Amino acid sequence: MSEFSDMAKTQTTDQKVVVVDFGAQYGQLIARRVRDLQVYSEIVPCDITADEMRKLSPSAIILSGGPASVYAQDAPTLDPAIFELGIPVLGFCYGQQIMAVTLGGSVGHTEKGEYGPAPLTLDEEAGVTSPLFANTPNEQTVWMSHRDAVAQVPDGFAVTASTDVCPVAAMECTEKKLFATQFHPEVRHTPYGNDLLKNFLFGICDLEASWTMDGIIEDAVAAIREQVGDARVILGLSGGVDSSVVAALCARAIGKQLTCVFVNHGLLRKGEPEEVEAVFTKQFDVDFVHVHAEDRYAALLADVTDPEQKRSIIGSQFWKEFFAVAEELAEDGRPVKYLAQGTIYPDIIESGARKTGGKASTIKSHHNLIPFPDGVSFDLIEPLDHFFKDEVRALGSALGLPDYIVNRQPFPGPGLAIRIIGTVTRDKLEILKNADAIVREELDAYNAEIAAQSGVSNGEVVRTCAGGPEIERSVWQYFAVLPDIKSVGVMGDERTYGYPIILRAVESSDAMTADWAKLPYEVLARISSRIVAEVPGVNRVAYDITSKPPATIEWE
């Protein structure tokens, strides 16, 4: 972990829930549900040892589900000594099964699988005495997804709930504070699942809902100040959510010691460079450097058609521009010691660097992702590396970032260069920027209208998340694409030969899968009419109605 991450966690997380991941599709969801209840959580791999767990000092442990059978040859296991640490444990699905077999019980195949909603009945005594099921009904619906199930509970355990298919739908040993369910309380399809989590966290573990945005900001600011001292920090500011939130957090902590380098490659959406500069020169007291590199990028991208080559050129040139500023600062007597960047928790999880010491605290020229010049090194500051995306947005709002940055849609690093199919020219950029601005304006208005009908403002559906909002847009992402073809059209009494614009609008929650948005015809008609009428060089608009998979959200 970075030095900042370690300091931040010790200051902000006197209470910590560790989620042990057995490869579950719901692993991250469990951690998010715990954080929704304002208790800090982390995800660790299932091969964690008891000694490693002890060093993390968790207040509670949750064992996730998983796709394997506990008796499979390569099935994930758990260090048995973890159950002897005296820390309350709650297991879900595979987590219940691994608890059972580790502690002397057994797991078997049920006659048939149980998938989806299932009616659950509490044991008569458990309905009165079980602390996990306190204040929930004796008959309730739960979400199941299993073929194997516990056949015999370990000594000292009691069966607390069952279904028609699963005799041991829940079990517990209250003396050792060990609890488990075959079903998934973390999913919304288990109506009383949140109540079970509350019962575990606040009733059984005696935790407090204290992980709030105000406290997070206060502790993070203190940690940055302690680490940085009077040194200088540099940050590559893209205008995206993550880098903007890091910039705002560092600005509050160290002010003019932070230099934000905004490399303008000319490939951002219409109005975005001006918005970014306005925010970080007028709202935040930082050293803001706006690098106008539009001409250099235009020359480098001339005649380049391959999207991967575009990405490589754009990424490499960014670091050249960035390090040129760092060198200028050093020559000016202001050498930079730290590099701040917007790594977020899913990046850490997906990279597999989840154990203590799994991520280096310094990036040098040999780093396999960033082509640093020889001899260049920075100590790393990653203030967001234990936050999920929705939490980053909530943090940005709490820091005072405007909505158009906090709720910015996903946008590719190479910008519009990969939404222009084929060569990138100034004329094509102008066409796409203007068409895309119309798409965003119309669908922003549509989202707001849908939200207003639902009684929610600003086009958002909001639920509590560490004291802040989690945003779920009516249409998740929308943009224009400029293909490398022209088509015949008629405008007035004249024949035209212009570009078509492809409209892409999707519904998704995490970009792993997406469905095309079922927009009303009148909205599509309005977008088409405006683009053709207001954007010179365009005579046709088409709507991409392909889901992901088989397509991707972006075209390149």
Would you name the residues annotated as active-site residues?
A: 93, 184, 186
Helix locations, 332-473, DSSP H: 345-351, 389-398, 403-406, 426-453
Angle (CA) 533-536-540 rounded to 5° is 60
Say how far apart CA 226 and CA 9 lie, in whole Å. Answer: 14
Q: Measuring CA to CA, how many Å separate 291 from each of 188, 200, 334?
A: 46, 52, 18
Three-state secondary structure call for residue 480: strand
Strands (E), 393-551: 460-465, 468-473, 477-481, 487-491, 494-507, 515-516, 538-543
Say how far apart CA 183 and CA 65 lie, in whole Å. Answer: 9
User: In terms of DSSP bridges, do strands 477-481 and 139-152 run parallel, antiparallel, or are they unpaired?
Assistant: unpaired
Say how far apart CA 543 and CA 528 lie, in whole Å. Answer: 9
Three-state secondary structure call for residue 547: coil
Task: Compute the chain's Rg from CA coordinates.
Answer: 26
Angle (CA) 314-315-317 rounded to 5° is 65
Q: Report DSSP letters for 262-319, one per residue.
A: EEE-S-SPTTHHHHHHHIIIIIS-SEEEEEE-HHHHHHHHTT---HHHHHHHHHHHHH
Angle (CA) 319-323-327 rounded to 5° is 170
User: In terms of DSSP bridges, do strands 494-507 and 538-543 run parallel, antiparallel, or are they unpaired?
Assistant: parallel
Check: CB of residue 149 under 8 Å from CB of residue 218: no
Check: CB of residue 239 under 8 Å from CB of residue 272: yes
Q: Report DSSP letters for 187-253, one per residue.
A: STTSTTHHHHHHIIIIIIS-------HHHHHHHHHHHHHHHHTT--EEEE--SSHHHHHHHHHHHHH
User: In terms of DSSP bridges, do strands 378-381 and 362-363 run parallel, antiparallel, or are they unpaired?
Assistant: antiparallel
